[in-house]
Amino acid sequence: MTEAANELLRGLFDSAVASVAAERCLPPHLPTPPKGRTLVIGAGKAAAAMAKVVENHWPNGSPLSGIAITRYGHGVHTSTIRVIEAGHPLPDEPGEQITRAVIALTSELKHDDMLLCLLSGGGSALMAAPAPGISLNEKRQVTDDLLRSGATIAEINCVRKHLSAVKGGQLAGVAAPARVVNLMVSDVASNDPTVIASGPTVPDPTTLAEAWSIIEKYRINVPPPITAHLLDADRETPKPGDPVFASSTTTVIATARDALKAAEKVARDAGYTPLILGGALEGDATTIARQHSDQVREGRQQEGPIAIISGGELTVTITGQGHGGPNQEYLLALALSLGPEGGVYALACDTDGIDGSEDNAGARITPDTLIRAQRQNLNPEAYLRENNSYEFFRRLGDLIVTGPTRTNVNDFRVILVPGKSPMNKQRSHG
């Protein structure tokens, strides 16, 4: 059973990732080439793979060029679209320099040309050029201070957009009057195009005033250039209804829901009844794990095996000195919550192949995870307190290593629960 269950866990994850890969979800949405030339601009963990698919499907004789910016290690070989790797999650100088090149190329577009924008999770950090008059270090410092302040992601992104040279619809303004086609792989729960990669080519509903109120709310000490920028009404980002978006179209081509649907079919074919919790779960990894352990206990009372499947993006409150992303922390907390008699197989991985900043996609647990840990004198409670889930699962040999998948619809989690067999159910009634 162990080998078959582990193979099913990996098969569920692989099917989820394959369903949102660029080669599968991008071709049906490629636009008709324009009269003029097509400039491709990509940003995110899926950008290189998306650029390659565009090249493979683009009509011969139609001018095609561009730049795709992706995370280090996530590139692929291309012919006419340059793939550049840069820093993520912290932006770096190569990211800033190539974004300046993107702005220059986009500014050359004419009425008969088209900007084909390929966006995915990670694009916000990779398109790193700050607004005029602001240095990259100044922007990074303000962002770091906001992250430590307790500001929400929505608040942080609002400020990021208004300190950027391209985010919040500003790149669309550079491209005008050319046609703009946005194709996006969503890594956000809402699938909101204004949030994916901070929406460089879509209208921005947030304002300079909101960004400044966030700075004041969290008492962030900002340098004079940033103060001057946020208080200058002429620096506002383009809003819904702005003429620069008159020739723009936007399509979200892959979401967490697509990945869960693919895994649901695999689970059903394997004889499991799928219980889909949705692709937008958010919250603390340990808290969610405890909630899911309650659902496991309920599932044990059902007839036949079930597969509890969920997506979304969990977070970790770091208090220790260890290593490990939210998926590994979730699994360690789940194993502890279920106890030695957990009786389940479970997997939690990030669909981009990198859980947090580690070199693995995530990990798995088995019915004997805590027993095996005890044999190796591993104290799971101590590993959880130290946020050291990576080392815990490494020592057990239960890390899942895929390498970069070149897509990203956030986390994927599945728990295989044996349930109650009809025979056991009959016996329980005497």
Residue type, 339: G
Domain tally, the chain: 2
* 174 and 271 both lie in a single domain: no
| Predicted pLDDT at 1 | 56
Q: What SS3 string covers 261-316?
A: HHHHHHHHHCCCEEEECCCCEEEEHHHHHHHHHHHHHHHCCCECCEEEEEEEEEEC
Mean pLDDT of 80-102: 94
Task: Indicate whether 205 pLDDT > 80.
Answer: yes
The residue segments making up the domain with residue 198 are 21-129+164-203+238-254
| Predicted pLDDT at 342 | 82
Residue 412 is assigned to a structural domain of this protein = yes
* 261 and 399 both lie in a single domain: yes
* 316 and 390 both lie in a single domain: yes
| Predicted pLDDT at 421 | 60
Q: How many CB atoms lie within 10 A of CB 411?
A: 28
Residue 157 is assigned to a structural domain of this protein = no
* 250 and 262 both lie in a single domain: no
* 188 and 283 both lie in a single domain: no
- Answer with the one of 192, 219, 254 that is the final residue of a domain: 254
DSSP string, 91-155: --HHHHHHHHHHHHHHTT--TT-EEEEEE-TTHHHHS-PBPTT--HHHHHHHHHHHHHHT--HHH
Residue 213 is assigned to a structural domain of this protein = no
* 69 and 6 both lie in a single domain: no
pTM of the full predicted structure? 0.92
Residue 64 is assigned to a structural domain of this protein = yes
Residue 72 is assigned to a structural domain of this protein = yes
What CATH number is attached to the domain comprising 347?
Answer: 3.40.1480.10
Nearest C-alpha neighbor of 354 from the set 187, 141, 194: 187
- Backbone φ and ψ of 163, nearest 5°: -110, 10
* 264 and 327 both lie in a single domain: yes
Residue 103 is assigned to a structural domain of this protein = yes
Give residue 323's region: left, alpha or beta (phi > 0; psi -120 to 50).
Answer: beta
Residue 232 is assigned to a structural domain of this protein = no
Tens of pLDDT, residue by residue over 340-394, are: 888 999 999 999 999 987 799 999 999 999 999 999 999 999 999 999 999 999 9
Mean pLDDT of 137-144: 88
Residue written as token pair 């996609």: 361
- Answer with the one of 254, 288, 319 that is the final residue of a domain: 254
Percent of the chain exceeding pLDDT 90 equals 84
What CATH number is attached to the domain comprising 95?
Answer: 3.40.50.10180
Q: Which residues contact 423 (CB under 8 A, 6 or more apart)?
A: none
Residue 50 is assigned to a structural domain of this protein = yes
* 7 and 60 both lie in a single domain: no
* 242 and 283 both lie in a single domain: no
| Predicted pLDDT at 2 | 79
* 69 and 25 both lie in a single domain: yes
| Predicted pLDDT at 137 | 93
The mean pLDDT of the chain is 93
Mean pLDDT of 226-253: 96
Mean pLDDT of 224-230: 96
Tens of pLDDT, residue by residue over 297-342, are: 999 988 899 999 999 988 887 888 899 999 999 999 999 999 988 8
* 349 and 294 both lie in a single domain: yes
* 199 and 298 both lie in a single domain: no
